[in-house]
Structure 1
């Protein structure tokens, strides 16, 4: 595809993707000569995970570009042949947090041996959780269970279905106000995947527009608080019960807009190390090759 074509971009309604929303709303993509269409799903209809695990985005959904966890980008591109990784990065100074209920005897990550930890499987967050927990537990002691979207994980934690759950801001802010305790924080890394025929000029234009949004947010984060809080407001419709016993105004006040980063073009050498880590833990086909996963530049 070229600059003259419509670029269909999958949008994740999560905190680390705010620059993409800003670039679309403020016309930064259009200023770069791009006609960008953000593809979104109705969260009220998502009962498993926002990124479909058994369907391709570049094929079944006709998407040209999509963000997903760095390790899941390795998995999807190889296992589903769902595009090639074109960029990756931390995206934001925004860690995942692992929470437990206040009455539990769990005080630190080493207490999580053989304790089910709620994650959203096949979104990539399970891999980041494994990497973080490996610093405190033997691999055989790590137990992850699928509990779905952030609001579902909060409900599972509140209801006692699980004793621990991973969350990302602004859901972590809600967890704080619900009285849960955070005992571990770890980085969130994202990969950007494009179709086989994604034009280098189109990708460069997309990154320039994205970078412009990052620069503006970082220069004046308070100007973007309302947009950032939209993710929290959306959960009032999805899971109103989670807000029954909290001061919503206090939650809004406690949330701060993080500092964002621009994704870097995919580095095969860097991603090869992550691929080997996945192979060592039987998280991906041992035949997976980085050359078939990362797009050439």
Structure 2
């Protein structure tokens, strides 16, 4: 049987499952593969308008991976894999500015370029969180600043006024004294390859469920794992004792209603020029 290829997504669960042998105990023959080469930094700057959706469109070389639920939703409805519907997760995320910034309130972000990843969680979540505070035409997004860690680096170096960051970079910004102007926490979903072994998929999520309990019980024992996916240049500066639990997996269904409502929300904002896919829930998900 072929190895089950797992793409970590800047969360703690996979690393805990490795440390504690949960994958082995589930009899899962696995390998971790960094689809975005985060630690090496090789793909931090893919250019303007290249983000999470484009990596699904091109084809990820793994059996299971994660991204924001909007992107996984549309990608699955467009035939680029299957959304795993028996669980979802929620990631802390926020729009950060330097401590001395004159941006104090969400309303101050009107017409300010906010660094986000194109068709990635930071893209959708910025729109969703800012709409209650201003008109849609006042929300200005910048897609030219690279993927998550490149945006973080630009903010640290003063090259951008505001950036939307999640997971480990979220906590790192807090450690460095950057100020969160607006919380943009959002749902993640898992994408499963069309040819993935479904027994292995169930073993994988069983191991993550055990890891979630470990995080809930004693997060401070595991936050050091954030360093595994950070670029090496930042690791010595990180004090992961200050970091929180990050993404939390919820073992409840990603429902038909959420699937349909999310696609409608994306379509109404014209985020995808070619539409949001034609496949319906039963054909786009696995359970």
Q: TM-score, normalised by structure 1?
A: 0.80
Any idea what the Cα deviations from partners look like across 1:140-164, whole Å, max 9, x if unmatched? 1111112223332233234443221
Distance 1:223 1:176, change over 3 A: closer
Q: CA deviation at 1:198?
A: 3.7
Ranges in structure 2 where 5+ consecutive residues have no aligned partner: none
Further displaced range: 136-145 or 24-33 = 24-33
SS of the residue corresponding to residue 66 of structure 1 reads: strand
Instruction: Write the mapping of 1:127-138 to structure 2, written as runs, cut at 5 A.
Output: 127-138=124-135
Query: Is 1:27 the counterpart of 2:15 in the alignment?
Result: no
Q: CA deviation at 1:116?
A: 0.3
Query: Is 1:294 the counterpart of 2:284 in the alignment?
Result: yes
1:96 aligned partner = 93
SS of the residue corresponding to residue 23 of structure 1 reads: helix
Q: Give the 4+ runs in structure 1 shifted more than 4 A.
A: 49-53
Instruction: Write the mapping of 1:162-201 to structure 2, written as runs, cut at 5 A.
Output: 162-201=160-199
Any idea what the Cα deviations from partners look like across 1:243-284, whole Å, max 9, x if unmatched? 7xxxx47x4442233583344343222211101101111123
Pairs aligned (count): 278
CA distance in 1, matches of 2:133, 2:88: 22
CA distance in 2, matches of 1:51, 1:292: 26
CA distance in 1, matches of 2:55, 2:220: 38
Q: CA deviation at 1:106?
A: 1.6
SS of the residue corresponding to residue 148 of structure 1 reads: coil
- Asked if the contact 1:23–1:210 (Cα under 8 Å) also holds between the matched residues in 2, the reply is yes
Distance 1:266 1:120, change over 3 A: same
SS of the residue corresponding to residue 65 of structure 2 reads: strand
Q: TM-score, normalised by structure 2?
A: 0.83
Q: CA deviation at 1:122?
A: 3.0
- Asked if the contact 2:12–2:223 (Cα under 8 Å) also holds between the matched residues in 1, the reply is no
Instruction: Write the mapping of 1:18-97 to structure 2, written as runs, cut at 5 A.
Output: 18-41=12-35, 42-43=37-38, 44-48=41-45, 53-56=53-56, 60-79=59-78, 81-87=79-85, 91-92=89-90, 94-97=91-94
Further displaced range: 40-49 or 215-224 = 40-49
Ranges in structure 1 where 5+ consecutive residues have no aligned partner: none
Query: Is 1:260 the counterpart of 2:248 in the alignment?
Result: yes
Distance 1:270 1:37, change over 3 A: same
RMSD (Å) for aligned C-alpha atoms: 2.9
Further displaced range: 44-53 or 199-208 = 44-53
1:148 aligned partner = 146
Distance 1:254 1:76, change over 3 A: same
Further displaced range: 269-278 or 189-198 = 189-198
